Structures are given as C-alpha cells and as structure tokens.
Structure 1
Amino acid sequence: MKKIFAYLLCSLVAGGLFYSCETTELDLTENPNRLTPSQADPNFLLNEIQENFARLVESLGETGSEVVRIENMFGRNYQNNYSPAGFDGNWESAYVGILKNIQQMNVLAEEIGLTRHIGMGQVMEAYTITLLVDYFGDVPYSEALDETNLNPAADGGAAIYAAADALLDSAITNFTNASAGNPQYDFFYGFDWSKWVLAANTLKMRLAINTGDFAGFNAIVNSGNYIQDSADDFQFQWATNDVQPDTRHPNYAASYTSSGAGGDYMSIWLMNLMQESADPRIRFYFYRQTAETPGAPGVDPNEETLGCSLTFPPNHYLAGGYAYCSLENGYWGRNHGSDEGIPPDGFLRTAHGVYPVGGNYDDSRFEGIAVGSGGAGAGITPMLLASWVDFWKAEVAMATSPAAGKQNILDGMAKSIAKVRTFLNLDPDADTSVTPLDADVNAFIASIDAAFDAADDTGKMNIMAEQFFVALRGNGHDGFNFYRRTGFPRTVEPNLEPDPGAFIRSFFYPANYANTNSNATQKTGVTDQVFWDTNPSSPSFPPAN
C-alpha cells in the first residue's frame, strides 16, 4: 500500500525566501516522515542541515547567554534550572537533523564528487559535535550513527575535539579542490569557498583556545587565513515570513507578538553595564516600550506590573552595589535568577532590539511593539565573528601580560560596533536622527581605553571580559566557555538567591538519551567539568554565582 507524501523543504537566503518542494511516493514500510537515502537529493539534505544547524546554535547559544548574564536566566537554583527533558529537542536536532542528515548526504555526494557539499557538512559537523562536548561533556559520536546500535557509547571529549579538528582539515581540502557541482543554496557565504576556509580555520582557533593550545592558535593567526573582517563573519541570515514556515529569527517570533513582548526578559546586568558606560550599541540591542520603570529614581513602584519595585534588594546585592529590579530611562528587565511570575507587562518591558534579532531600533519613540514591526525578524544568528576573534587574541596575549591585550580589545569593540550600526537599516520606521554619531563611538572607545590603562591586572581582565560579553550578544556559547576558562568578568551580578548552588560547569544529559541508552548514566548534578575545563571545582570557581 502506498500513499503520496509531500516533502516540503523551505530554505532561507538573505533578503528572500525560496521553496524547494518534492512530492514522493513512499512505501509505508519505511518511515513516511523522512526521505531515505535512495530518495533524497543531496541539495535537499544540505538545505535542511543548514537550517537545523542554525536553530541548534541559536538555542544552545541562548542557554549559554543566560548562565553568564548576557540574557536573563529564570530560576534561582542552578541544579534545577535546566531540566534534562528541556534538552531533548536539541539532542534530536543535533543527531538526527544534522549529523544523520550529513551522513546520508555524504553517501550521495561522494558518489558524484560533490566535495563542496561535503566540506560544508564537515564544518557544521565539527561545530555541532564540539558544541555538544562544551555543553554536556562526553557524548556519543563514533557509534552514534550506527542504526544497528541502539545504545551507542560516549566518546571522550578530547577524542571528539580531535575528530572535529580533522574534519576541519578535510573541509579545507574540499573547499580548495574542484567539485562536480555547487550546492543549490549556501546560506552562509553564497558559494565563496575561500570564506568557508576562513570559517574552518576560525573554528580550529576556538578549539585551540579552549584546550589551551596557544601555539596552535597563534600558528593560525600568523597564517592570516581566518576571519579578520566582519564581511567574512560566519552567521545565518533569517527572513521575514511568519507562517508556513516561520522563517523569522526565533527570538523575534517569540518576542514580537500580538500581546506585546513575550519570551525573554532582558538582562539587567547587561543593560546597566551598557547604560552606565554610554555604549553606543544599547539602542540596537534593546527596545524600550516605555520611558520609565516602576521603582526607578523618581518613579512610583507598581505592584501589578513589577512586583520587585516594592521590595528591598537582597543583602548580597546591597553589599555588592548591584543594580536591582528597576533601571533608569525605561530599561525594564530582570535580575539573574529571578523566578517571579509573568505580570501584564507585555507592552511595558524592554524587548529585543534590531540587533541581532531584527526587531525595533530604539529611537525613544516609546511605543508598544507589534507583529511585523522593526526588521520583521530578519536578524542573524552569529556563529563566528571577526570581533570575537579579536577578544580571543586578547585572551591569549593577556595570559602572558594583562596589558598586552588592549589593542585587540579595542579592535574587537570597533568591529562589533561597526557591525551593529549597519542593522539600523532594517527598521524602516526608525528615526535616524537618534543614532550614535562617530564622535559618540570614538568617545566610548576612548573611555574604555583610559579605564583599561588605569586598572590593575584584575580590572583589565574584567574590562576585557565585559566587552567580550557585550560583543557576544546573539550567541553566548563563547561567553559560557570563557567564563569557565577564566572566571571573568568578576563584575557580573550574582544570582538573586544567596545560595544558588554551584555554578553550571556542564548540563544534565537530555532525558531521552539518559533514560533510554543502557550505556548512559545521568549526572547527579551540574558540576561535572568538560575535559578542557581544568580549573578548580565549583563552587570555588568561577568566583561569582
């Protein structure tokens, strides 16, 4: 018995939306929801891989952002904040949507010499498997895609990193050599294979800095063959379609709703840091729907819309002088670990801005957000940016001499700001007269320059880490790694709970994996350190919970 199954693959490209549709007659003795290798087209598989990859990086990057205060974290107890079941979707996306699809694509691509398809898959596979190691520790890899093995054993993180490094070397070869044909779509670099080589080498740099291989890191720096210019950034461009399928940036889709801002609250720590330092990116990152926050100086509290505006800061916030609950000028968010319920604040709280999610630019219009407003969701998921590389270079230099990284920090800031400013064009309703001028940017960079010179060695590391975290908005993966590598910045606000438990060094394994694989053992807590995290155990490290 056979039925017709419509397989619809909708693929994104910058500035537009393209549909690739194929109707295939499937035998129902096979899974009717997936193409078999004999029925699949390597282009369809690669298109699906690229989107699944972007969604995985976006989702786990959001989690990394939350624990290091780039985004807001809900829940006061680290042990219980992120449940195993909450990672089931990420696990399926990684192993089925990305790795299994890559395996099937390679069977077809190798037969006809589509080396560029294979190279793209190798970069995404290397990024994916190291992402899993960085968040979960030892995970299945060498046995993971064997369909006859229902209980694949985990590989050590170091072995997976080595496999990823080898994949990247092979990818570089595949991008350099001739191919029998190009993919249907390349949503990252538009078939510029020299830029794919830059991305592969830059990912190798991330692996090197995580493992402390500074010699290997510097060898790539000396080669010059890595992402140095924002024009070469490795990122995924979302589109503006809102139904069937929703191709908007996931945070835009969750936040710009008919009932106002949904999803996330903005991080008070990050907004306060940027507001106090006159950071010119603040209007791009955050969109204020109101000019005043209850409980701020000169503003009455409001129990209904912001309950904490009627409460005193916890003692450890008072002692440390951390901003609590209500910021000035309408920056309405939440502190790290807030577990309050959701009041009627959808048209009051600060929402995601035009960067990186494609929302509204904050020109002080103080109007409620609407579905389709601003950039309509045509934002990006950043994956490897030139500005981030400058901060990696600063970290390596500062390991020898804290003062030595200053120019790299300033370079990273300048690249980040220049990139963010280009997003103003996404919001057609923005009042462009309310934008930072070159003089404002120069004054801000000069203030960080002066503060760095005046700081002691610890202060220098704090400044570098703060500016790195600001530049990371949109993907906190490197922030989570950096915080575990260095323990900086030590200026992050603590959890609202005075005793939140030890900081997360890796997350629980997904429930589906731990509960169904006889070779898997669920962790007892979140303090298991990944192989490259050789710092003292929690709670003594990192210094702030």
Structure 2
Amino acid sequence: MRKLLLPLLVFALVLGSCKDDLTSLNENPKGATDVPADPLFSNALVSLGTLNTSVDYNINMFKFMSQYWAATTYADESQYNLSGRSIPSNYWSEIYRDVLNDLKESSALVAENELIPDAQKTVMQAQIEVMQVMAYHQLVTVFGDIPYTEALDADNPSPAYDDDATIYSDLMSRLNAAISDLNSGSSGFSAAADVYYDGNVGAWVKFANSLKMRMAIQLSDANAGAAQTAIEAASPNAFQSTGEQLALQFQSAQPHTNPVWEDVISTGRNDFVAANTLIEMMNNNDDPRRWIHFTTVDTTSDGTDNPRFQGGLYGASNGYVDFSHIQGPLIQPSFEGILLGYDEVEFIRAEAAARGWNVSGTAQSHYNEAITADMNYWSEAAQSGGIWEQEPTAAQKEIDQGEITTYLTNNPYPVAGSLPDQLKAIAEQKWVGLYMQGLQAWTDWRRLDHPTWNFAENPGADTEDDIPTRFIYPVDEQNLNESNWEAAASAIGGDETSTLLFWDADYASSVN
C-alpha cells in the first residue's frame, strides 16, 4: 500500500495560506506577491483530498448518496434533503474557493517567477492544469452547467454559466495538453510541495491518464466514439498497480488527521452504521472484506444469536447498537484517502473491453484484476493496523489468494452474457471496490444504473423519493447571481435533483 508523507513544513505553509474566505474570490491573484506558489498548490491538493475523503455530511454527503452508510440520529442527508440544507453551497464553495482559486493564484505566481526555468514552469503549470481539470470535472459532474469561462474573475461577481457538455469537451482538451507537457522530461513542483507524489512527474503522467479514463468512460452513452478514442490512448499510460494510485496521506496528529477518523472516532458520536444496501450485497457474495470494514451484531432481526453483519435501513434513522459499525484501517487518523484508485482504472478497462474497444487484455482479466487488487489493498491495510471494535483474527485480516479465487468463482464475469449483463456485473463489483469514494460511486450508478439501490423512506424528499441525479444549485447563486442561475436552470431542464445531466442517458430502474 502506497504511503505518501506529508511534511509538517508543508502543512505549516498550507495553514499559513488558509486565510481564504468568500471575499478572497474578489482579490487580484497577482496581488499575492508575498505568498509563494508552492503552498498555494499544496493547499489546493490538501483541500481537494480532504474534501473527497471527508464524511462530514455538511460538505460531503456522497457516502450517503452512494448508500455505503446509513444514519442513526440524523437521517436528512440519506433522505436527500438538499433544499433544506446548505450542502450544495458548501461543496460548491469548497472547490471554487479552496481548490480552484488557490490553483489560479499558484499558476499566476509560477508564471511571474523569473527564477524558475521555463522547462520546469511548463511542468508545474501542467500539474496545476491537471488539478484544475479534476476539480472542474467534479463540479460539472455534480451540478451540470456551472460558471467556467467567467469563473474566478475578481471583476465579475456574477459569472455566466457554461454548458456542461461544452465544459467537458474543453476539460478533455486541457487534460490532453497537460499530459503532453508532463511528458517534457523536466521536473515540476518540489517533493515538499507535491503532497500526492513527492515530486515524481512520471507518477503525475499516470495519474493524468487515469483521470482521462475516468472522464472518458463517463461519456460512454453520450459520445461513445470520443470515449473510446480517449480510453484507447490513455490506458497504456495509466495506473498499472495499486502503488501508483492517487492518495493523500494524512498524519497521526491533529489538525492533519484523516477526516474519517475525526468524524467517526474523535467526535465520540455514533452517527453512522453500515447501510443495508451494501451489507446485503456483501453478505450475498460472502465478501471477505466485511471483516475488515465492519463489526458483527449478536442478535439479528429474526431472533437468532448467530453473529452476522447487518446494515441499517438506508434512508431511516437506525439504532446504533443494532447494526454493524464502521471499523478497521480507514478510521485510523493517519490512513490515506484515495482519490483515484488502480482498481477503478481496471474496472474501466474491463468495461472498455466489454464494449469492444481496443485495450490490452480481456474484460474478464481486468474484472478479476480489479477485484483482486482491491482485496489485496484492504488485506495489506488491515494487517498493518486498524481501529477495531471487534478485531478480526489474523486469518480474517489476510485475504489470501484462495479466498480471492473462491470469490471470483462465486461472482464470475459473465463472459457469455449480453453486454447489459456484463456491464451490470462490472457496475456491482466496482461499487463495492469504490467503497468510501462516494462521489465516483454515485456517478457510476447514475451512468450504469446498477447496483440496485433503495428509495429513501421520506415522503417529503425533493424528488418524491427518487434518488437524485444531480445537486441543486447553491442558494447563494439564486440570491446573488439570479439571472445567470435562471438561465442555467432553464438550459439544463430545471434546477431539480431529478434533472438528468448530458452524459446520463436515463433514470435507473434498479431501485427497490
């Protein structure tokens, strides 16, 4: 398992630069001459990594949206209560203010610095560009049309929204150009500033190509030709092992700890249990990863006393003592947060091969490799440590090859099945493999319409109990940028959580 050290010096610089607030969007980036580019770049990387890892439902409710976890006391988020909460506003602000704004300022400072060789500037700007593409991709995937060409302009407090399909196309073009610049052979940001890859530009090339695959497969229904071309070009240069995947390494001491530990352990609150959606699939598949992620309960609803994994009802308030709790490596204070994993790339290769696209290997081989890689990752993590309410045995922590073979035998890739059958198998196993990467899991569910998810038990939900296909726009946009918000809402077909985005072909039928 890859471990990236995040130097305390960089965190000190990052914290020193974290004076952003909403008014910072109206400041001239070129006025920040007393702040070097490095900590701004680091801050953007830390901010995006922390946001994506967080389980704080005030800024990131995607663990609920993807039906991995269920609520105990507060069930609003799992009931998709977006209009009554500031979650869309918080998510929007976090990315525009703490990620994109810092990246823009860092880019301006790199350009102005006459001491940086031109070749190194090219690579540094390419690294910034890749992160800008990733951040904008998340926004456009969540909301649809967003401010883009007029975004982050200090002289324009009311930016117009751009068409999401047009933004997507431009992001792909920008990413291609950045990949070319990363391959120039020069160094980029220092190891201290690059909190993802310690200054390894070759690793950035693989990350950028993996991001290209993630973005391309999302177009599989909207523009299959463009998706195929992009994936065939990117696959040979994308992740080839778990050690190459994109992760943010957290620290064992606050305030630089993993936000999952902060919200599950440090707060002392019992807000989360495993969701029945996930537990039922893992139980049906006899998934060995259950022992690493969850506790068992002694008494089940049928009155038996056999310890078993049991998930709380998704969309409802659940008694904490009655259901499986979160445990294991991922709730350690220093555990890394995955932003883009090798197993995800392997599932994309499997899907590409299933569609008949020209990627090396078969759909079955990539499907098997994706599952194997994820099981090995969590097995190694569990053997290295964890916070255990019920510590598994040594045998339960180690998922050996025999167990993996048995799992693949019992959950085989349907080689002789139809394409819908094959995509369903990929979607279901990918969802389990993406555990804790909630945004990507929700995105794949919207696109592939599997696995079967549950309606929230909430008569007052925004979408009349339908699972949302997008976030509504922030209230601040409605109040402070009204005319552009109205135009954007009209352009996408209504500012509703049920509005389909351009890449999402249809509503899912695989719901309970």
User: Normalised by the size of structure 1, how large is the TM-score?
Assistant: 0.76
**Which of 20, 39, 55 pairs up with 2:12?**
20
Distance 1:205 1:433 in 2: 36
Q: 2:498 aligns with which of 520, 527, 533?
A: 527
Aligned to 1:128: 135
Count matched residues: 464
Alignment of 1:396-435 (within 5 A): 396-399=352-355, 405-424=363-382, 425-427=384-386, 431-435=393-397
- Given the alignment of the two structures, is residue 462 of structure 1 paired with residue 428 of structure 2, yes or no? no
1:248 equivalenced with 2:257 (yes/no): yes
SS at match of 1:265: strand
2:223 matched residue in structure 1: none
Task: Report the CA distance between 1:382 and its aligned residue.
Answer: 1.5
Equivalent AA in structure 1 for residue 298 of structure 2: E
Cα 1:407–1:339 change in 2 (3 A) is same
CA distance in 2, matches of 1:298, 1:79: 34
Please give the per-residue CA displacement for 1:39-91, whole angstroms capped at 9, x wherever unaligned. Answer: 11111111211111112323599534423323337349966356451222221
Which 10-residue stretch deviates more, 113-122 or 149-158?
Answer: 113-122
Are 2:16 and 1:49 equivalent residues in the alignment? no
Change (3 A) 1:137 1:455: same
Mapped contact 2:207–2:246 kept (Cα < 8 A): yes
CA distance in 1, matches of 2:177, 2:328: 37
Alignment equivalent of 2:238, drawn from 226, 235, 250? 226
- The superposition leaves residues 64-122 of structure 1 with CA deviations (integer Å, 9 ceiling, x where unpaired) of 44233233373499663564512222211111111111111111111234344322221
Q: Aligned partners of 2:212 and 2:16: how far apart in 1? A: 40
For residue 159 of structure 2, the aligned residue among 148, 152, 156 is 152
Equivalent residues in 2 for 1:465-480, closer than 5 Å: 465-480=427-442
Matched, 1:544 2:511: yes
Distance 1:285 1:62, change over 3 A: farther
- What are the Cα deviations for residues 400-436 of structure 1, in whole angstroms up to 9, with x where unaligned? 59xx733321111011111111102023885524433
Cα distance between partner residues in 1 of 2:248 and 2:279: 25
Q: 1:63 aligns with which of 61, 64, 69?
A: 61
Q: How does 1:14-413 map to 2 (within 5 A)?
A: 14=5, 17-18=8-9, 19-21=11-13, 36-59=31-54, 63-72=61-70, 74-75=75-76, 80-81=81-82, 83=84, 85-112=86-113, 113=116, 114-177=121-184, 178-179=186-187, 182=190, 184-212=192-220, 213-221=226-234, 224-242=236-254, 245=255, 247-257=256-266, 259=268, 262-286=270-294, 288=295, 291-299=297-305, 329-339=307-317, 345=320, 349-355=323-329, 357=330, 359=331, 376-399=332-355, 405-413=363-371
Q: Does the 8 Å contact 2:327/2:386 carry over to 1?
A: no
Which structure 1 residue ranges, 5 or more long, are not aligned? 1-11, 300-327, 360-375
Contact 2:126 2:181 in 1 (8 A): yes
User: Are 2:182 and 2:205, in contact at CA under 8 Å, matched by a contact in 1?
Assistant: yes
**Structure (1/2) with the larger strand percentage:** 1
Superposed displacement of residue 458, structure 1? 5.2
* Cα pair 1:265 1:351 within 8 Å, conserved: yes
TM-score, length of structure 2 as denominator length: 0.81
CA displacement at 1:393 relative to structure 2: 2.1
Q: How far does residue 146 in structure 1 lie from its aligned partner after superposition?
A: 0.8
Offset of residue 524 of structure 1: 4.6
CA contact under 8 A between 1:78 and 1:504: conserved in structure 2? no
Matched-pair contact (CA < 8 Å) for 2:6–2:195: no
Stretches of structure 2 that go unaligned for 5 or more consecutive residues are: 221-225
**In 2 relative to 1, CA 337–400 (structure 1 residues): closer, same or farther, beyond 3 Å?**
farther
Secondary structure of the 1:72 match is strand
| Alignment correspondent of 1:367 | none
Larger of the two Rg values belongs to structure: 1
Measured after TM superposition, the shift of residue 445 of structure 1 is 1.9
CA deviations on 1:249-300 (whole Å, 9 max, x unpaired) are 21221111464x53322111212221232212112222x2x6414524425x
Deviation at 1:197, TM superposition (A): 0.6
Matched, 1:444 2:407: yes
Instruction: Give yes or no for contact 1:336–1:495 (8 Å, CA) kept in 2.
Output: yes
Structure 1 residues 486, 216: CA separation in 2 closer, same or farther (over 3 Å shift)? same
Seen in structure 2, the aligned counterparts of structure 1 residues 209 and 460 have a Cα distance that, compared at 3 Å, is closer
Structure 1 residue 544, shift from structure 2 partner: 1.6
The alpha carbon displacement at 1:511 in A equals: 1.8
CA distance in 1, matches of 2:498, 2:387: 47
**For the structure 1 residues 482 and 397, does the alpha-carbon distance in structure 2 shift closer, same or farther, using more than 3 Å as the test?**
same
Q: Hey, what's the Cα distance between the residues in 1 that align with 2:275 and 2:380? A: 23
